[in-house]
Structure 1
């Protein structure tokens, strides 16, 4: 072709139709294919990759280390006790992630296999979407989605334009017009496009949907024609073609390099305050674990150092043991104790928390109070990781337009040539003028009025809905053939409101065809040639068009914020317009200033040349365009200003007041001017009439700003009784944050409400970051509806998107999305309150029940001389957190409602009770920890004193062994911690009842089967019957005295909080039931019912003893005969005085009485 490839690392070169240069040394570049891969795993890498990701979590990795330690050294517990829970957690997570990834694979295959048509050798060839390559010319038909990012070459329209909708990308449902360059617009067939010799140079792929920089070089008649390419020339993958029969485009970004795919990247991970507290608790319990392991190891060696505690002859050390390294021995024992106590760290906590967050997030979407019927929109949860953070918010940062207001604009007033006008009966009427014939149509306009309305009708980016034009088909007919029944579409509600108002008052925009803009002024058709559009940007805060009038004049029309337009105006009624703008703003109207400028031919030629150079630049295009725009938009002539009303949303005032009562400070961050923002703040209740309004506006220098801040700080200290509100503009804020950040924060903290006006998007994010990083570290929430709010939504701890009319960028980048601002009240005060209460109790309860679980294990080592003998059976160790105690707390964390929702909404002050992470602070943590230790001591010593000093509890001389004692402690513990959860529950559903009582029942049933109570072999007589029939030896008088004493204490304490004495009363009732079981053969004292003196509710812990006595065979070694002959005596680990059998033979050593006798 003759093109030499440019050498730019920041750009890519695309040869249209893959017509590469005919150079031997040229190597075609390699680009990504068009396959979309949203999946994370493949069949081959799923297991290793998923395991790697899961073991990156500290808890999983910790339990993996414990499991490996159990495999490598001689530990007191089976590796199954750690391996099975870890396997369960890893497997459940892997199945969940694998299923989700399978769904992604399925969706990818559907997209990649979709049929498409590409141009090959002048013909259309059908292929699959995944086969498209960069440089291919693709045909897309009406209502089809674009399979790659395409540069538009032509369409079935003569001007090469097409209409698309990007609802799947940014949620905007309005039609957008895209254009082809003039030179390719005429190539409307595959054969014609095959003759095209062109090269596209464009930027490398990036995720910004609204930015594209490139240029198209076309070779015609041995000459190169260069045309600039921008966002209006790019058709994004995922967008859909509308109102156009077909288009042809060349693929420039394919597959995972398309902008849609680049936006798949997840947002930065936010961590809630609860998660941070949970990690801190884990660290504390890890320290406790290490302390217990080290202390036990030291005490073991201290005992072994004493001669009188020398080991018996059958457990003497071998020569190898004596010569082995003491350090290695110490480490081995330390690791063994670490394994023994490691269950104090709950492995199932993370899984339970994840399940609670995932399942709990559905309640927001299901809440009909958060459903907006008019728009048919429900609340949306984009991340479930921050549910509880909704209950900790201290600052709310909100946008104004579209968030507090409806974003439905209605034209109210305007100023033209220094005169104020109102619209009355579709007429532009000067203020104070009465109309003789109000219903008569407009027949004439003054020259100034006509020019003003023409500027409004021409300076915009409004489109017309072609589907509603009679008989237009896919094309556009102009004034003489157009129906009056059509509708304007615009990305900006302000523009739509102004164009509609201009049409009502006699100057109607009839559409654009190619470069021709057509308006009808008082029934007369006029055509203007659109030469250039100077797009709006947040820095300039204005947009302009350059048009050629029917008379051939080159005219610039511009509209924008008064801070941008008035300062560049040189002629016209500038001062009166400024006064009128302030009056409009004081009424709460949104204001725009309108001006124009005429160019001489020489001026226009210079401007056209500079614009062409800037638009075709591949490097620093935005900066060059900004310089040219500033050069053009100067020496303006003021035409006037407009005032547009934006109504407040429903119940905004009540919502802000509820947030204020809840202790949440509300900051409004808006781009509107000072007067407009203050007026809206007063009307919505953000500011109230009795509030003293302080202002930090129009500061020019650092010194002025510092003096003003110092003055405001003094006033706040002096008038601390009344409430204050602060108004800050963007310029003053920049000065305050530059050198006086601390002073500015001091002023803001002492104000009840803050209003920041004339804010740029990045300034909003800076304000949020300023509060986040302040010494108090408050929890922040940002809420907005537009693209300019995305930065602050992402910066805040919690981001809320409003499903408004400015697209879906805010919704896509938010953590939660709601249809109206009023829903924020229930989202925080009810859902946030519940989520925090539930998960805070879940975390504390998990640590509590694990302290109850492991502390008896630690205490038991003092009685078995630190032999590392486990108190519980391995199966119980394994199933405690997985089966026996997991479901009640999970259901609690999903359904608990300690206060009725209506009470939470009617009394917002209740939100203060849980603020600042109140339930996961040091005092609650200490309470739950000490409660766990206290209950554990009662479980252990209550069972210990229940068994008393009797070494022979059976008539045949057999003794209860360590498994009996451990099962007794474990049974009491399971019942107590479950009932503790029941007593914490305020809102009972059938599911709560089922899992609470079902968990206890499941434990009993499982233990009965596991312990051999129910014999499955008919020929074998159940051992339990013989055991019960031979039980003797406990004095009834002794037990009765003990029971009477215990019940008196229970009656006294039952008037206090039940949950605090619940664990204490469990062991105290055992004596009564044990006595009755032991003397069951004597008719005179047969137990036929509960004693009348004991309240029925006090008898529930006695049930546990039945299982403890009858399921003593946890070692699964059957008694061979009633005379006591059983398994051979086993020796415990590391010199344990305990046998490994459950029931000691006549000569066996039982731990508890032995230690007491020594």
Structure 2
């Protein structure tokens, strides 16, 4: 704790230089003057609070809300001066609101702590004191030697020291980081690869020098007097998984929140929805109304006292001290007293009701079986319920590609050999137009071209094979060939290669003339690079000749070709490759020249078609989002060709679009002046390209067709385009129907999201992804959604919501988002309305009592109005209301547009509800005053109509009217709506009879004793109640009927169109138990639990 405090105060920074020196196995030098550097521990923290800072930090965040801070001030004022009402009337609701909100936020953060503890408490093995010791992940220190076994996840960023392989290599997958399942090969340096035992590792005297941040990797391994440069191929990143390698040893260089995975995360910031921002704006307006009423009342009070005709009553005569006190202090004291009297116009219970609505409503997402994925047995998950209504306001969706739109599983579909198209049927390659039955069971004969094509595809790859016996240990590589049972698994650096090898493995059994065993010697691998867009291998065939079959990679198609070398030609090729590989200067350029020399005069063998399988219903989901007015941007780290191909296949790009491409811009000269001019021309000439501009236009439609535009930009070009030209670049993007960003780094994704959400239009953004590289944009967007992928939970843990598949996004937005928004928007407007109804009669009453600060209502009524009498109906409404049936919302995505741009909380709607509240308040007060105020013989015993009876009459009319007003706004009735609506009115009557029928000894006064009974005993009072309520609600009924039948909105038309006879909607079911969830999912659709748990009927 002391160290943390010193670091926070700047006295003890954790790092003193720009580089870190890591002593392997923490074998520090013996010099006495050496002071070890201090590094972060290995804990990953995604939570917001700790047990130490929860109370102060949560209170600080809650009192940032205007209403909470305002009521705190009011409470303090009531404690300091003599006010018309008790401090309990403000303090109790404030305490209730703060407590409920703190419990809700504490529970959500406890879930984050629980997830963090699972990661931080994972068991790991480290080398300490000459032995292998098991410890927890959070206890790993920089410099520790860590052992990672096959299929385990790397707990820290490691520099690879050795592996069980003689060559010191290992294979990993980074699915949890970038969604890619490709196998990647990493290497240890020659000086450490022989240290494969604990004893040799413990005696290793070496130092790793690297930068303080893992985002830029420039490392050196210092071994005795030898300095060895280290690169990304030597670093094993946290979150990646070891594959096809028994075990590795590595030294921890970056731990915890300093690892590359953690640095790609944004710092957490409190996300606030558009509804909450509107609430704060409305609260400021109401605060202005409150101040106006308080100032006006204070001025009128002193104006009345200044007139000589008004004599002070004998019981209100002031003392000598009061007469001599400062007039300014008296004015301020009276102003504060009026402020306290009218303070309930600010609805303090609004926030706690909103919190409860969000918390309880979030369970509907997790209970929805339409969002349940049966294969993975995963339900939707809510990590942050504060943003439920934001799901109904999304305008831009930013999505990852690999693992989000696609399954990341490459499948061989067809090929072309010697001009003939083949397809796979029952494990055989069959020419197009033929079927397996037409072969009559005979094995097809292969031509020389077909045989050579299959050999090339089978041999030109870098696929690794793992054999495992059914038991635990690794199997013998020859056991499979000898017929013994073993499990074989392929690992490839490219999913295309894996799909082709798996396909060719299936074919030999169907052909009689394809040799089963041949030995080929691999001489050289010419690795794939983006410029050549190909990978080649040089092989020695059994006949002694040399063969090179290089497939050229394109849009998920591979062109297969070969070239034969004589022995003399190969000697020359081998010499050129050796010279280029060992060159110290311009190595890449020299290798490119050699590759170009080798890969020429090729003989075309054929082509293959490999499909990156899309997730189910991706195309339908994107189309539904487009119809809902939501633009979809794809942000991916994949290469340009693959990204464009997937965008076309999933419907993100239509084939009737013009594709503008801003790619391969590498120099500042290229992307400084001319591109800006081209961008301006694109904007001034409806996004049409010009010769020589930085945008390459791919025309994909007939010239006479209406043009839509899609934009493709890569990461390097984006960085250059955003240097001073952000606004211009964003204008181009926003004028395109679809945008694809490829070769994107994680922080670039977040920057694009931030750039759009901070644009002048302030659109609501949503980011969705499945890998750790998507965490930054998920945290940056207004709403972040994690996909529950096959490996890794970083995106899910750092998201606001988590779903199993991209297709679920449609219902999450179009149905749940729609419901959440209309519910909370009505909740907010209704709260302001009923509080205006509540306090305005209090203000009007001051004109009657000559601004003596006499309260119209009893203190108990003041306290319980928002807590008990009117809170439950609106809470239940905000949980179950449905303007339109869920099936209609999904079948008509355009209805989503009706609620966009926060339309239900616009100033026009806010003004309507506020004026309606003032109108109803005037009717309450003056209706009661006119009908009852002059009746001096109201009571049966001849007593006059008193002050508390008049106030109780106004309060009674108000409670009934505001409750019935909500009933008129309700479209979907459940038994709970009926219960709380009529139950709230009944509870008010029962409570008032009980409260006024007993003498309470702890109360200072008994003003309300028998008041309510006397009120109900008067026929005039009942008559007044009926007349006033009818007067208030009759215009609402007329308006509702008029607009529904004469000027219906599209939403109202959809309501009418879906309802059956009598306006009764098909009921939905109650939430299932955990045991029954699988059974319910397989049940008929009408019998499964869907969005919202109730039986109910629609009303028009």
Tell me if TM exceeds 0.5: yes
- Tell me: CA distance 1:153–1:967, structure 2 relative to 1, closer, same or farther (3 Å): same
- Tell me: CA distance 1:957–1:480, structure 2 relative to 1, closer, same or farther (3 Å): closer
> Is the aligned partner of 1:453 residue 2:452?
no
Counterparts of 2:645 and 2:268 in 1: how far apart (Å)? 36
In structure 1, the partner of 2:443 is: 439
In structure 2, the partner of 1:494 is: 496
Task: State the Cα distance separating 1:865 from its structure 2 match.
Answer: 1.7
SS in 1 for 2:973: coil
Counterparts of 1:293 and 1:27 in 2: how far apart (Å)? 66
SS in 2 for 1:385: helix
- Tell me: CA distance 1:301–1:474, structure 2 relative to 1, closer, same or farther (3 Å): farther
Matches within 5 A, 1:27-46: 27-33=35-41, 45-46=53-54
Query: Which blocks of at least 5 consecutive residues in structure 1 are unaligned?
Result: 1-6, 508-519, 563-584, 612-623, 1061-1158
Counterparts of 1:178 and 1:39 in 2: how far apart (Å)? 33
Instruction: Give the counterpart of 1:904 among 861, 875, 889.
Output: 889
- Tell me: CA distance 1:1040–1:347, structure 2 relative to 1, closer, same or farther (3 Å): closer
The answer (yes or no) to whether the contact 2:927–2:1028 under 8 Å persists in 1 is no
Counterparts of 1:902 and 1:454 in 2: how far apart (Å)? 50
The answer (yes or no) to whether the contact 2:658–2:707 under 8 Å persists in 1 is yes
Task: State the Cα distance separating 1:284 from its structure 2 match.
Answer: 1.4
SS in 1 for 2:342: helix
- Tell me: CA distance 1:245–1:321, structure 2 relative to 1, closer, same or farther (3 Å): same
Counterparts of 2:230 and 2:221 in 1: how far apart (Å)? 6
> Is the aligned partner of 1:865 residue 2:869?
no
Task: State the Cα distance separating 1:195 from its structure 2 match.
Answer: 2.1
Matches within 5 A, 1:705-744: 710-712=684-686, 723-730=706-713
The answer (yes or no) to whether the contact 2:392–2:813 under 8 Å persists in 1 is yes
SS in 2 for 1:56: coil
SS in 2 for 1:184: coil
Matches within 5 A, 1:233-312: 233-234=235-236, 236=238, 248-254=249-255, 257=258, 267-312=268-313
SS in 1 for 2:901: coil
Counterparts of 1:810 and 1:821 in 2: how far apart (Å)? 14
Task: State the Cα distance separating 1:266 from its structure 2 match.
Answer: 5.5
In structure 1, the partner of 2:1069 is: none
In structure 1, the partner of 2:361 is: 360
Instruction: Give the counterpart of 2:130 among 116, 122, 126.
Output: 122
Task: State the Cα distance separating 1:645 from its structure 2 match.
Answer: 2.9
Counterparts of 1:680 and 1:34 in 2: how far apart (Å)? 38
The answer (yes or no) to whether the contact 2:454–2:504 under 8 Å persists in 1 is no
The answer (yes or no) to whether the contact 1:165–1:174 under 8 Å persists in 2 is yes
Query: Which blocks of at least 5 consecutive residues in structure 2 are unaligned?
Result: 1-14, 564-569, 664-669, 690-698, 1043-1100
Task: State the Cα distance separating 1:866 from its structure 2 match.
Answer: 1.7
In structure 2, the partner of 1:523 is: 517
TM-score normalised over the length of structure 1: 0.71
The answer (yes or no) to whether the contact 1:34–1:129 under 8 Å persists in 2 is yes
In structure 2, the partner of 1:637 is: 599
Counterparts of 2:546 and 2:853 in 1: how far apart (Å)? 94
> Is the aligned partner of 1:1003 residue 2:988?
yes
Q: Deviation per CA, 1:1036-1095: give whole Å up to 9, x if none.
A: 9x99998998899799879635899xxxxxxxxxxxxxxxxxxxxxxxxxxxxxxxxxxx
TM-score normalised over the length of structure 2: 0.74
Counterparts of 1:400 and 1:951 in 2: how far apart (Å)? 78
> Is the aligned partner of 1:214 residue 2:206?
no
Q: Which moved more, 1:93-102 or 1:942-951?
A: 93-102
Counterparts of 1:98 and 1:698 in 2: how far apart (Å)? 46
Matches within 5 A, 1:871-1020: 871-951=856-936, 953-954=938-939, 958-1013=943-998
Q: Deviation per CA, 1:735-774: give whole Å up to 9, x if none.
A: 99899988988887777x4465867568877776676456
Task: State the Cα distance separating 1:277 from its structure 2 match.
Answer: 1.9
> Is the aligned partner of 1:89 residue 2:97?
yes
Matches within 5 A, 1:106-185: 118-124=126-132, 132-139=140-147, 149-156=157-164, 158-160=166-168, 180-185=188-193
Counterparts of 1:807 and 1:286 in 2: how far apart (Å)? 48
Counterparts of 2:721 and 2:17 in 1: how far apart (Å)? 40
In structure 2, the partner of 1:22 is: 30
Task: State the Cα distance separating 1:842 from its structure 2 match.
Answer: 0.9
Counterparts of 1:786 and 1:45 in 2: how far apart (Å)? 31
Q: Which moved more, 1:998-1007 or 1:725-734?
A: 725-734
Counterparts of 1:102 and 1:705 in 2: how far apart (Å)? 49
- Tell me: CA distance 1:553–1:342, structure 2 relative to 1, closer, same or farther (3 Å): farther
Counterparts of 1:1026 and 1:354 in 2: how far apart (Å)? 36
Task: State the Cα distance separating 1:656 from its structure 2 match.
Answer: 4.5
- Tell me: CA distance 1:132–1:916, structure 2 relative to 1, closer, same or farther (3 Å): closer
Task: State the Cα distance separating 1:267 from its structure 2 match.
Answer: 4.4
In structure 1, the partner of 2:63 is: 55
The answer (yes or no) to whether the contact 2:89–2:863 under 8 Å persists in 1 is yes
Q: Which moved more, 1:767-776 or 1:365-374?
A: 767-776
Counterparts of 2:786 and 2:113 in 1: how far apart (Å)? 29
SS in 1 for 2:210: strand
Counterparts of 2:226 and 2:262 in 1: how far apart (Å)? 34
SS in 2 for 1:897: coil
Matches within 5 A, 1:1092-1111: none
Counterparts of 2:86 and 2:114 in 1: how far apart (Å)? 42
SS in 2 for 1:13: strand
In structure 2, the partner of 1:202 is: 210
Q: Which moved more, 1:852-861 or 1:487-496?
A: 487-496
Counterparts of 1:630 and 1:352 in 2: how far apart (Å)? 67
The answer (yes or no) to whether the contact 1:170–1:807 under 8 Å persists in 2 is no
Instruction: Give the counterpart of 1:1056 among 1021, 1028, 1038.
Output: 1038
Counterparts of 2:591 and 2:924 in 1: how far apart (Å)? 80
Task: State the Cα distance separating 1:721 from its structure 2 match.
Answer: 12
Counterparts of 1:316 and 1:354 in 2: how far apart (Å)? 48
SS in 2 for 1:486: strand
- Tell me: CA distance 1:740–1:465, structure 2 relative to 1, closer, same or farther (3 Å): same
Q: Which moved more, 1:930-939 or 1:769-778?
A: 769-778
Counterparts of 1:887 and 1:749 in 2: how far apart (Å)? 44
Counterparts of 1:351 and 1:269 in 2: how far apart (Å)? 18
- Tell me: CA distance 1:135–1:371, structure 2 relative to 1, closer, same or farther (3 Å): same
Counterparts of 1:743 and 1:105 in 2: how far apart (Å)? 43
Q: Which moved more, 1:73-82 or 1:539-548?
A: 539-548
Counterparts of 2:295 and 2:969 in 1: how far apart (Å)? 35
Task: State the Cα distance separating 1:807 from its structure 2 match.
Answer: 6.9
